[in-house]
């Protein structure tokens, strides 16, 4: 039996041609180095094998198994209901499938807020059972003890501030955060996460000017979603980016494809072929 070692697989970046150059795993220090060089980087969510492979090979350096799986995989109305048990198989599928990307697992609502101990228990499961390379949690300076507990245990942590969907009800809906006088608090939260050891911080629905200020004040990368062009990185939910989600999109979404249209067309043609008797044809049959 021939086994292909991870470091012998073709590099997903560049020409796509097979190469002897090892495809090295993206590490958190690479992300900070990209910030230092002023190179913006993309991040996408992924929840399964095909998307993980496709995005990995397209050169997306960081894949997020978001708790947005709640509404984009499981069909819940928000991200609040999803559990660690529901997240783990998705995390495992993505880490099994991405040979280059750094895979970040979102900690679901209720799985880390109670204490640093609870956060560590959940994060360890994401690393051991999900084989994640890092975890992400929502919240600012109040969650610095959680971030410290995880980083002390050797688990890289991505922060997430601004509009934090798990606090939708506390924040009073889907609203831009950090406008006016609350900008200083947002900057303080970002600095507290960096001081606690976070390797990056997501800024969601934050005025572009405030995100620019946070990005300038932090040594670690900022990852924007509805946070303007001056963040070090940008993230989108893949079903929004690829047009699988046909619902009303938030303002920060740009659609790069019409996957819903492609799939709908394919399913309609298949149905018509079956109904009309033109599928399966001779070439699809065994004798």
Q: Is 241 helix (H, G, I), strand (E, B) or coil?
A: helix
Q: Which two tokens stand for residue 58?
A: 């397209």
Q: From ligand KIV, Mg ion, ligand MHF, none, which one binds at residue 45 (CB under 5 to 8 Å depending on kind)? A: ligand KIV
Q: Report the alpha-carbon angle 124-188-158, nearest 5.
A: 25
CB of 176 to ligand MHF, least distance (A): 5
Q: How far does Cα 185 stand from its chain's mean position?
A: 25
How far is 59 from 237, CA to CA, in rounded Å? 16
Among the listed ranges 117-125, 195-203, 207-215, 244-252, the one in contact with ligand MHF (CB under 6 A) is: 244-252
202 touches ligand KIV (CB under 6 A): yes
Please give the backbone phi and psi of residue 215, each rounded to the nearest 5 degrees, phi first: -60, -40
* Binding status of residue 235 toward ligand KIV by CB under 6 A: yes
> Which window, 64-72, 88-96, 121-129, 265-273, contacts ligand KIV (CB under 6 A)?
64-72
Q: Does 42 bind ligand MHF (CB under 6 A)?
A: no
Query: Is 204 assigned a catalytic role?
Result: yes
Sequence-distant (6+) residues with CB within 8 A of 268 are none
Closest CA to 139 of 152, 158, 120, 126: 158
Contact residue for ligand KIV among 94, 123, 214, 225 (CB under 6 A): 225
Is residue 156 within the footprint of ligand KIV (CB under 6 A)? no
Contact 157, 197 (CB under 8 A): yes
Say if CB 218 and CB 194 are below 8 A apart.
Answer: yes
Helix (H/G/I), strand (E/B), else coil: 136: strand
Query: Quick check: 251 binds ligand MHF (CB under 6 A)?
Result: yes
What are the two backbone dihedrals, phi and then psi, of residue 46, each rounded to the nearest 5 degrees?
Answer: -155, 145
The correct pick among 239, 241, 242, 244 for binding ligand MHF (CB under 6 A) is: 239
Interface with ligand MHF (CB under 6 A), residue from 240, 241, 242, 244: 240
232 is in an annotated binding site: no
Using an 8 Å Cβ cutoff, are 65 and 46 in contact?
Answer: yes
Binding mask 69-88 for ligand MHF (x = CB under 6 A): --xx------x---------
Copy the structure tokens of residue 155.
């688990």
Q: Does 174 bind ligand MHF (CB under 6 A)?
A: yes
Q: What's the count of helices (H) and strands (E) in the chain, helices before strands? A: 11, 8
Which positions are annotated as active-site residues?
204
Q: Which residues bind ligand KIV (CB under 6 A)?
A: 45, 64, 66-68, 106, 160, 202, 225, 235, 237
Q: Which residues bind ligand MHF (CB under 6 A)?
A: 68, 71-72, 79, 165, 174-176, 237, 239-240, 245, 250-252
Q: Show binding-site residues for Mg(2+).
A: 67, 106, 138
Q: Show binding-site residues for 3-methyl-2-oxobutanoate.
A: 67-68, 106, 136
């Amino acid at each position: 039996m021939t086994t292909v070692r991870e470091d012998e697989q073709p590099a997903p970046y560049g020409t796509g041609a097979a190469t002897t150059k090892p495809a090295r795993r993206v590490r958190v220090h690479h992300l900070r180095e990209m910030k230092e060089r002023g190179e913006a980087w993309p991040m996408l969510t992924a929840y399964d094998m095909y998307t993980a492979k496709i995005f990995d090979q397209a050169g997306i350096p960081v894949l997020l198994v978001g708790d947005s799986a709640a509404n984009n995989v499981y069909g819940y109305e928000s991200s609040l209901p999803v559990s660690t048990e529901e997240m783990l198989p998705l995390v495992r599928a993505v880490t099994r499938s991405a040979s280059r990307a750094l895979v970040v697992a979102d900690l679901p609502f209720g799985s880390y807020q109670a204490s640093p101990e609870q956060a560590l228990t959940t994060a360890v499961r994401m690393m051991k059972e999900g084989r994640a390379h890092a975890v992400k949690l929502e919240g600012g300076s109040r969650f610095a003890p959680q971030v410290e507990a995880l980083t002390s245990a050797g688990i890289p942590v991505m922060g997430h501030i601004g509009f934090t969907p798990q606090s939708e009800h506390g924040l009073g809906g889907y609203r831009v955060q950090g406008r006016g006088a609350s900008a200083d608090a947002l900057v303080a939260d970002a600095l507290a996460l960096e001081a606690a050891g976070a390797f990056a911080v997501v800024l969601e629905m934050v005025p572009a000017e405030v995100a620019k200020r946070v990005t300038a004040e932090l040594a670690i990368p900022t990852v924007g979603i509805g946070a303007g062009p001056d963040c070090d990185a940008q993230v989108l939910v893949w079903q929004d980016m690829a047009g699988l989600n046909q619902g009303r999109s938030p303002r920060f979404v740009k659609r790069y494809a019409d996957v819903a249209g492609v799939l709908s067309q394919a399913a309609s043609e298949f149905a018509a072929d079956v109904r009309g008797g033109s599928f399966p044809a001779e070439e699809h049959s065994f004798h």
